[in-house]
Structure 1
Amino acid sequence: MKILIIGSKGMLGQACVKHFSKSHKVSVFNDRYSLETRECFTKSLSEFDIDLTIHCVGKIPQVNSNEVDLFQINSAMTMDLVNVMDANNIPFIYPSTDCVFNGHGPNNYYSKDHFQDCNNSYGVSKLIGEKIVLGSNNGYVVRVSIIGPDIRPSARGLWNWVNNWPIGCMIDGYINHTWNGITTLQWCKEIEKLFILGNPDRRLYQLGTKKNISKYHLIKLIATKLGKENIINEVSTAQNVNRSLFADYDVQEIEKQIDEIMVNKDLV
């Protein structure tokens, strides 16, 4: 299959290129997008001969993105991408996030039927992107929180944050922030199963592990696998945060997912 990865330099894009290149023809598209360059951007995009597009570009609040950046990339860029893919009848995958929910709703898991009650600009910008994709002819939304290694020195993801801890420093981990996401490698494997080896039977997928864990236990698990010996303190915030998603089907537990990344040394 001929797959186009839009945004191959970020955490998810890196994983997609490495995973799908093993058995598919992968092209990458990293042109910068802005409202001023959108016409040139979409024209260049239309020239690819592809069977599937994966949109790995996304602005996150951890990278000091302002509101204009968030909505321009997560919403406006998505709309232009969808229009190109619809015009060429190419399936389009939009990675979304558990942050479309505010984390203060159900006691356990958010289902697809729950109202998307995000209360920050990042969540709203991703939610708008979801609506755009679900309103298209060929778009699919895969909603899940992801973690994974990132080769960029400036990377701000959870995995890299843990990996970059100085020896001996003490770290705080939230015991009342709950999570059931997956790794970037597992994300790629699920996309392969759903969209390449199989035929997607819905427009919105929610993925996640059956069992959720606290952010404290998550960073402790990553630290152990990376050989970090820092002291991790159990701390709590005033309000619990739980964005765990009710998944469409079970995936393997997070510890096994992390072990698979550690075996694939080229990913670490």
Structure 2
Amino acid sequence: MSPSVFVAGHRGMLGHVVARLLEESGFRIITTDARYEGHAGDALIAAARSSDARYVVNCIGRIWQKSTDPTELFRANALLPIHLAQSLRPDQHLFHASTDCVFAGDRGAYAVSEIPDADDEYGVSKQLGEGVRHWPNASVLRVSIVGLDLGGGHGLLAWFLSQPEDKPVRGYVNHFWNGITTLEWARILVERINRLEGGEANVPLSQPGTERVDKYTLLCLFREAFGTRHEIIPVEASPSIDRTLVPTETRAPIAEQLAMLSRWAHGDAGAARGAPPLAAARR
């Protein structure tokens, strides 16, 4: 029998995908609408600890586009994961989502062993949240993600799909990226849970990723995967940004991931479950 999984942030861009794929993969999902206000004893923390879930997945995160108050960034991105790691039972395991924005982005090819160097409020808040990797029952996945939002959103893919198709869209040729889709993140989670269930050692910090592309190319791949007719104009931004990570685990090419996400979002559950890495992980 598959273990239960508590998903914090199940209505967000990542969380709704994680919850759905876990359920499709045979896990029992536990969610809550309880809130976190910045205290270790808050209802969300208590709900996770008191549940019978063996695994807790923290998909809650605050992005700078949604917040003008630095306090909100540090509460959601730093305090929450730390309070979860401190409060969970010894038999519970925490998975926490981090991002490439922990690095400044002035050169790219950041190794997992490097010390994060971002000095903006968002980047620092995410750096602090990664501290949970020092708990024996926690895993951090550091990677940038693209995905679909419920009811709109501020992510790159949601922004692109919301643009009128009769107007050109600009894509930066000097902003570089090598992240994954939200669906691929969820697939990695299933693999990691199955490995832990099989007795494999925990990986405290990892950087799954794919090939390096610029944002112009990424928008072109969005257009292809989701069948839009946007005209995409290549432009240069100032400054150039390269937050690409050296992957500790190389996933499928991003074009394949986006095509899988598009099929899965339109109801083809087998698009995710039937792919080789996940099929191999599910024993």
TM-score, normalised via structure 2 length: 0.87
Contact map agreement 2:40 2:87 (CA 8 A) in 1: no
- Is 1:187 aligned to 2:185, yes or no? yes
Other-structure match for 1:73: 76
Deviation at 1:56, TM superposition (A): 0.4
- Is 1:261 aligned to 2:264, yes or no? no
One-letter amino acid matched to 1:208: G
Contact map agreement 2:6 2:48 (CA 8 A) in 1: no
Equivalent position SS for 2:14: helix
Other-structure match for 1:174: 172
Other-structure match for 1:12: 14
Q: Distance in 2 between matches of 1:44 and 1:60?
A: 24
> Aligned runs of 1:1-268 on 2, under 5 Å?
1-22=3-24, 23-35=26-38, 38-85=41-88, 87-106=89-108, 109-131=109-131, 133-153=132-152, 155-198=153-196, 199-209=200-210, 211-264=211-264, 265-266=266-267
Q: Distance in 1 between matches of 2:252 and 2:20?
A: 21
Deviation at 1:41, TM superposition (A): 3.8
Contact map agreement 2:77 2:126 (CA 8 A) in 1: yes
Deviation at 1:112, TM superposition (A): 1.4
Q: Distance in 2 between matches of 1:77 and 1:267?
A: 34
Amino-acid identity (%): 27
Contact map agreement 1:261 1:267 (CA 8 A) in 2: no
Deviation at 1:91, TM superposition (A): 0.7
Structure 1 gap ranges (5+) = none
Contact map agreement 2:134 2:204 (CA 8 A) in 1: no
Deviation at 1:223, TM superposition (A): 1.7
Equivalent position SS for 2:244: coil
Q: Distance in 2 between matches of 1:2 and 1:99?
A: 31
Q: Distance in 1 between matches of 2:207 and 2:157?
A: 22
Q: Distance in 2 between matches of 1:235 and 1:4?
A: 43
Q: 1:75 to 1:267 in 2, by over 3 A?
A: farther
Contact map agreement 2:160 2:219 (CA 8 A) in 1: yes
Q: 1:225 to 1:76 in 2, by over 3 A?
A: same
Q: Distance in 2 between matches of 1:26 and 1:100?
A: 30
Q: Distance in 1 between matches of 2:97 and 2:44?
A: 20
Deviation at 1:167, TM superposition (A): 2.6
Equivalent position SS for 1:92: strand
Q: 1:66 to 1:187 in 2, by over 3 A?
A: same
Contact map agreement 1:103 1:241 (CA 8 A) in 2: yes
193-202 vs 246-255, greater mean Cα deviation: 193-202
Contact map agreement 2:90 2:137 (CA 8 A) in 1: no
Q: Distance in 2 between matches of 1:195 and 1:45?
A: 17
The total of aligned residue pairs comes to 262
162-171 vs 47-56, greater mean Cα deviation: 162-171
Deviation at 1:267, TM superposition (A): 8.4
Q: What do the CA deviations read for 1:130-154 (whole angstroms, capped 9, x no partner)?
A: 01x022231111100001111223x
Q: Distance in 1 between matches of 2:261 and 2:192?
A: 21
Deviation at 1:197, TM superposition (A): 3.8
One-letter amino acid matched to 1:196: N
Equivalent position SS for 1:70: helix
Q: 1:120 to 1:101 in 2, by over 3 A?
A: same
One-letter amino acid matched to 1:246: V
Deviation at 1:201, TM superposition (A): 4.2
Contact map agreement 1:179 1:215 (CA 8 A) in 2: yes
174-183 vs 115-124, greater mean Cα deviation: 115-124
Q: 1:200 to 1:182 in 2, by over 3 A?
A: farther
TM-score, normalised via structure 1 length: 0.92
